[in-house]
Amino acid sequence: MIEIERRFLCEVADPRVLDTAPASNLRQGYLTAEGPTVRVRKIADRYLMTIKVGTGIVRREVEFQIPTEAGRELLEITDELMIEKRRYYLGRWEIDIFKGDLEGLTIAEVELAATDEPLPDLPPGIILGREVTDDPRFTNQSLASLGPDSLTDLLNELGPDDDGSP
């Protein structure tokens, strides 16, 4: 399956927008540090294996459910390359608020039907910052290897966007 997705650093300017939004806690580990992404994700009581190939806005993705025992074992193996986040579903937008070593990082992403499709309207209270779709440092696979100091350094390295936002 082809995935067309854009990702942005973002700010939740009005946290009340998240109060009634459907949400999930995600824990995901990576079996690869570079090259094709091989991910194991726990969402609720399900485990999913995902393989992604490519970079940028268009990537090829294969995802399938795996047995619980295999999912637990695989997540344990990925202990050094893991992220945790709470994902909020706001219309077509997904807002990921990272936890643990990546606390303070919030990313908005949206899947599109075509590369030239305009972005759907943002939910009120969400402010997009710098687009990071084409920045390989902001793939979840890359973020999984960062500690809190590395994240701070990365965000400081970016500096303000053209409009002054993060």
Report the catalytic residues: 30
Nearest by Cα to 96 from 41, 47, 38: 41
Give whole-number Cα distances, 9 to 4, 109, 125, 145, 159, in Å: 17, 9, 14, 18, 12
DSSP-assigned states of every residue in 70-131: HHHHHHHHTTTSEEEEEEEEETTEEEEEE-GGGTT-EEEEEE-SSTTPPPPPPPTTEEEEEE
